Amino acid sequence: MTPSTGQPRMQGQYKANSITLHGAVAMGTGVMIGAGIFALTGQIAELAGPWFSLSFIVGAIVTALSAYSYIKMSNAWPSSGGIAMILQKCYGRGAVTAGAALLMALSMVIAESLVARTFATYVLRPFGVTGGPLVPILAVTVILFAFLVNIAGNRSVGLFSLVMATLKIGGIALFGIAALWASGFSFAAASETGRDFTATGFVASVALAILAFKGFTTITNSGAEITEPNRNVGRAIMISIALCVVVYLLVAFGVGSSLTIDRIIAARDYSLAEAAEPALGRAGFLLTVFLAAVATASGLLASVFAVSRMLAMLTDMKLIPHSHFGMSGQIQRHTLIYTVVIASALAVFFDLGRIASLGAFFYLIMDMTIHWGVFRYRRQEIGAAGAVLLAAIGSDAAVLAAFTAMKLQSDPAIVLYAAIAIGAVFGFLRIYLGQWTATPGDGHAEHKAGGS
């Protein structure tokens, strides 16, 4: 039991000062720069048209507003409880806290299936395969690879993520620069197109751009383990977002310089590979496929670890039920298996577009819940500016409304699936916990490293 909270400690999981600032940045970018750029570029272009590169800028602005709540709360209570800690500090132990935290975990599992299918799509491009059963088969295979590396131990995950983050940031940035250079810094995506693009479509595209940045929350979830967390959590988050903005813009301009907007949309699931060959030749195409494989595999590896630990944390906090199903070992080993099974199922039954849409719905609802909780219950205590918190809620709401409107036109079924899933999560946890909220901030979920 932890002395200050009376909660059971997850033994051996949290070590104070075990993650440096550089390590935290590598962890955040490792999750962000995966399917975020390789799969979502084409999908964002489908909604935003020739202005798709601006979607990443607006997405970064909305993400920076969102990060404000996480940074202020983490500065006040650096914790390995992360998002669950923030929610419980605001709403207490109830269905609102559990439901929003579980939505975050599910959005990360959804992202894993997105990353896995992106890996498969790019790896199969040199063989001319764009669909069929090989895509889900290879997607499940890479998810199983991430599982095997994770059970090898935390040290393997940390070292692999750091090396891969360095390789893929440098490689992807070089792709963008080389593609721009080869095109003479022209922007083919701005050419004439027969499609009509609306302001609503552009705002809706920001929902997908936000998915490319939401990996910064991984840093929040490791707050108590980062050196000087009261300073470095916020610094790591902002550095990660800034690095990703640069990389994403280089890629967007690189793709836009090689392909017209119609070609980007036609190859939306593998637009970087499609852009590489005309700009950089066959060698550039193969290098892009390699970078995609590295980026998606390493992003998946980091995400599987983060999700399994988050689910274990929620179980430890008694916010969600847990069944061993006859398995032995630690709870996190069980949640790791659950994570892999769910991600594999999604990778088999949903395409990239629907996977990304589900993730956007789940994440935006969770994000607004956090901002409202901080505004309503904690802003004075942590010295947060109410105007910034309201701006974060407003921007999320505007993006969610536009995205919902576009999906109701193009794929109403996915809106229904998302609504049913969100309602089921909160409804089930309301029954399980017996209340929506408790006294705000009671039942602390600190989980500080080294004892507290």
Report the distance separating Cα 380 and Cα 374, nearest Å: 9
Closest CA to 412 of 404, 420, 400: 404
pLDDT score for 449? 36
pLDDT tens digits, one per residue of 238-251? 999 998 898 888 88
pLDDT score for 377? 93
Helix (H, G, I), strand (E, B), or coil: what is residue 157? helix
Closest CA to 302 of 33, 22, 14, 21: 33
Report the distance separating Cα 162 and Cα 169, nearest Å: 11
Q: Highest-confidence range of 112-126, 211-225, 383-397, by mean pLDDT?
A: 383-397
Per-residue pLDDT band for 223 (boundaries 50, 70, 90) equals low
Bin 294: left if φ > 0, else alpha if -120 < ψ < 50, else beta.
Answer: alpha
Please say whether the beta carbons of 24 and 233 come within 8 A: yes
For the residues 348-354, what does the mean pLDDT come to? Answer: 85
Q: Which residue has the higher pLDDT, 448 or 184?
A: 184
pLDDT score for 384? 95
Q: pTM for the full model?
A: 0.85
pLDDT score for 9? 39
Please say whether the beta carbons of 259 and 186 come within 8 A: no
pLDDT tens digits, one per residue of 328-341? 767 778 888 888 99
User: Which residues have CB under 8 Å from 155's CB, separation 6+?
Assistant: none
pLDDT score for 194? 65
Report the distance separating Cα 9 and Cα 448, nearest Å: 9
- Partnered with residue 19 across adjacent β-strands are 226
Q: Which residue has the higher pLDDT, 34 or 76?
A: 76
Helix (H, G, I), strand (E, B), or coil: what is residue 64? helix
Token pair in block for residue 153: 């131990």
Residue whose structure tokens are 């690189």: 254
- Partnered with residue 226 across adjacent β-strands are 19
pLDDT score for 335? 85
For the residues 147-152, what does the mean pLDDT come to? Answer: 81
Backbone φ, ψ for residue 44 (5° rounding)? -65, -40
Question: Could you tell me what percent of the chain has a pLDDT over 90?
Answer: 35
Report the distance separating Cα 371 and Cα 49, nearest Å: 31
Residue 1 pLDDT greater than 60, yes or no = no
For the residues 16-25, what does the mean pLDDT come to? Answer: 76
Question: Could you tell me what percent of the chain has a pLDDT over 70?
Answer: 85
pLDDT score for 450? 34
Q: Which residue has the higher pLDDT, 15 or 107?
A: 107
pLDDT score for 161? 59
Per-residue pLDDT band for 74 (boundaries 50, 70, 90) equals confident
pLDDT score for 271? 85
* CB burial of residue 286 (10 Å; 0-12, 13-18, 19+): middle
Please say whether the beta carbons of 211 and 356 come within 8 A: yes
Distance of CA 50 to the CA centre of its chain: 25
Please say whether the beta carbons of 48 and 259 come within 8 A: no
Average pLDDT in the chain: 83
End-to-end CA distance of the chain: 11
For the residues 190-216, what does the mean pLDDT come to? Answer: 85
pLDDT tens digits, one per residue of 184-195? 767 666 665 667
Q: What is the DSSP string of 317-348?
A: TTSS----TT--S-HHHHHHHHHHHHHHHHHH
